[in-house]
Structure 1
Amino acid sequence: MSNDRRNLYFYYHPNDQLNEQLKPLFDLAKENNFEIVEESKEANIIIAIGGDGTFLQAVRKTGFRQDCLYVGVRSEDEAGLYCDFNLNNFNEMVDSMLNAELEVRRFPVIEARVNDEYSFHCLNECSVRSTLIKSIVIDVYIDDIHFETFRGDGLIVATPTGSTGYNKSINGSVVDPKIPCFQVSELASLNNNRYRTLGSPFILGAERTLKLKVIQDGNDFPIIGMDNEAHSIRNIQDVTVQLSDKQVKTVKLKNNSYWERVQRTFL
């Protein structure tokens, strides 16, 4: 680990048990000349402790920083596709960081613009869903070309790493994060003579622009999911999604590839 990466910021949801578990980790970090900082903006390594949900929150709450590394640490019984380390083996984590047995992994990020007014970044996915007991109608454009008119519960736009989350639960494809792209999947589409969709997930390359135009038919308050947060924005007209120039840089142990973690999690 480079000497200029010594400021650690820990992001976690405190509770008595976790606080006790973290004390030895804090002590070990200090013994090895790491400094624990109170503000994320002062850190060059941000450590999320909990699971994938906590990791997503840590990235979002700290602003998808491009000048630092993110580290995911699983607590007990938590899923960990973003987490290479386990809290019960923190000696291994500190030893690996000191002995440079880490590799930097770069994850693609998508940017979603709502009504060309609000911009959000997502590491996992952006979803547009109906909040009513009523289907939502969305015109789907790819590079300003009308592709299809969707009617159903909603659409999910997932990054490659997000392909193993919500996207996978609705039979979307699992995508290698080394491929710069994003995936569009349907939630309960209604296909008939009036509304016709592809009926399967599709993957768009890095240079593509996806625009989802919400048809104003009384369902004007859809919920927009940004990773594991929900946003209710009044009068949504369209959502434009592109692959962002930003990437989330994480550290991983050698011999622990993305596909090894997928195998360990699902097979």
Structure 2
Amino acid sequence: MKVAIVKNPRKQSQLVAQQLEKLLLDQGIEIDGTNPEVVISVGGDGTMISAFHKYQAQLDRVRFIGVHTGHLGFYTDWRNFDLKKMVQALTQEKPLTSSYPLLELIVITDNEPRHFLALNEASIKRISKTLVAKVAIKDELFETFRGDGLCVSTPTGSTAYSKSLGGAVIHPRLKALQLTEVASINNRVFRTIGSPVVIAPDEWITIEPADQHNLILIVDGKRVPVDHVQKVIYRISKQEIKFDKFGHHHFWSRVKDSFIGQVDDESF
């Protein structure tokens, strides 16, 4: 087995990564950052997103594991004090994986189309001005949007930026995309749907900006330089990301722990 370790620069993550590497080597597991079978992220959700983009060209042959060294994360099954148990499970148990959908973006410009993958979301905005854009669903005009921007998220990304915009929390096993608005303009003259929209697996979203310049495209929190943007197409990718779940990947428990906390059963 070949394993790659991706870590963030925090001191605790660096120390945990060192411990993990020693445990893996003691079990005869090769550390290979080029052609791994398993990618272990040490840090938080941001570190997992970095690991995903680093190895996105190898999604058909790698699976991911997250080790958490900070606040509770949605992509991290293991805590830093569980390293021995995790390595034991990795070496002795038959791998069970959960596959989650990814977002594919096709950016149409004056030049060749550009393709991107997102694990969480992609948003489009204008620099210091209102974004005016036609929004189509499955090539049928849905609305003309005016506001700060638009965000399209995956189910796993529904707990991130999309949720802060008022989006719904969607279970990651559902192959759906969610469109949420960023400060839309709604009055007697201009109207948008004003609520999140969930798109079916066989549908796609097309955003066509009125002004092709001065746009900001952000993919998984990273700004992508673009210009002369005629339109951006969002669809569920044919590729998926695979996580080793080890039998304890409980999505709703994480949602509760992250956003609600301890629930008092005797409060009523």
Deviation at residue 160 of structure 1 after TM alignment: 0.4
C-alpha separation between the residues in 1 aligned to 2:223 and 2:48? 16
Distance 2:89 2:140 in 1: 49
Q: TM-score, normalised by structure 2?
A: 0.90
The one of 119, 124, 132 equivalent to 1:128 is 124
Q: Could you tell me how far apart the structure 1 residues matched to 2:93 and 2:125 are? A: 44
Relative to structure 1, the CA distance from residue 145 to residue 119 in structure 2 (aligned partners, 3 Å threshold; closer, same or farther) is same
Q: Say whether residues 1:225 and 2:218 are aligned partners.
A: yes
User: Paired residue for 2:32?
Assistant: 37
Post-superposition CA distance 1:129-158 (Å, at most 9, x none): 1221x2110100111111000000000000
Task: Give RMSD over aligned pairs.
Answer: 1.7
2:231 is the counterpart of 1:235: no
1:194 — aligned with what?
Answer: 189
Aligned length: 256
Specify the alignment match of 1:71 in structure 2: 65
Asked whether the equivalents of residues 206 and 232 of structure 2 are also in contact (C-alpha less than 8 Å), the reply is yes
When structure 1 is superposed on structure 2, of 120-129 and 92-101 the one drifting more is 92-101
Q: Give, in whole Å, the separation in 1 of the partners of 2:247 and 2:16.
A: 25
TM-score (norm 1): 0.90
Name the counterpart of 1:86.
79
Greater shift in the superposed pair: 15-24 or 146-155: 15-24
Specify every segment of 5 or more residues in structure 1 that has no aligned partner in the other structure, as ranges.
Answer: 1-5
1:20 and 1:174 map into 2 onto residues whose CA distance is 34
Question: For the residues of structure 2 that align with 1:115 and 1:127, how far apart are their CA atoms?
Answer: 15
CA contact (8 A) 1:8 1:45 kept: yes
Percent of aligned positions that are identical = 30
- Distance in 1 (CA, whole Å) between partners of 2:76 and 2:204 is 30
Q: Which amino acid aligns with 2:82?
A: N
Q: Within 5 A, what are the aligned runs for 1:103-142?
A: 103-115=96-108, 117-132=113-128, 134-142=129-137
**Kept after mapping to 2: 8 A contact 1:221/1:232:** no
Which of 202, 207, 214 is 2:209 aligned to?
A: 214
Q: Residues 50 and 78 of structure 1 are in contact (CA less than 8 Å); yes or no, is this contact kept in structure 2?
A: no
Instruction: Select the residue among 8, 11, 24 that pairs with 2:6.
Output: 11
Per the TM alignment, residue 99 of structure 1 is displaced from its structure 2 partner at its CA by: 3.0
Query: Which of 43, 49, 53 is matched with 2:46 structurally?
Result: 53
> Which whole-Å deviations, capped at 9, do the CAs of 1:210-255 have from their partners, x for residues lacking one?
1000012xx7221111112111201222100111100000112313
CA contact (8 A) 1:126 1:225 kept: yes
Instruction: Say whether residues 1:25 and 2:17 are aligned partners.
Output: no
In the alignment, the residues of structure 1 paired with residue 15 and residue 249 of structure 2 have an alpha-carbon distance, to the nearest angstrom, of 28
Query: SS where residue 178 of structure 1 aligns?
Result: coil
1:153 alignment counterpart: 148
Equivalent position amino acid for 1:129 in 2: K
Tell which deviates more after alignment, 78-87 or 17-26: 17-26
Q: Give the alignment partner of residue 184 of structure 1, picking from 152, 155, 179.
A: 179
In 2, Cα distance between the equivalents of 1:15 and 1:122?
24
Runs of 4+ in structure 1 displaced over 6 angstroms? none
Q: Distance in 2 between matches of 1:38 and 1:123?
A: 21
Q: For residues 79 and 263 of structure 1, do their structure 2 counterparts lie closer, same or farther at Cα, with a shift above 3 Å needed?
A: same
**Match of 2:255?**
262
The answer on whether the counterparts of 1:52 and 1:80 sit within 8 Å (CA) in structure 2 is yes
Shift in alpha-carbon separation, 1:38–1:202, aligned structure 2, 3 A: closer
What does the per-residue CA deviation read over 1:145-191, in whole Å, with 9 as the maximum and x for residues that have no partner?
Answer: 11000000000000000000000011100001111110000000001
How far has the Cα of 1:91 moved from its partner? 1.0
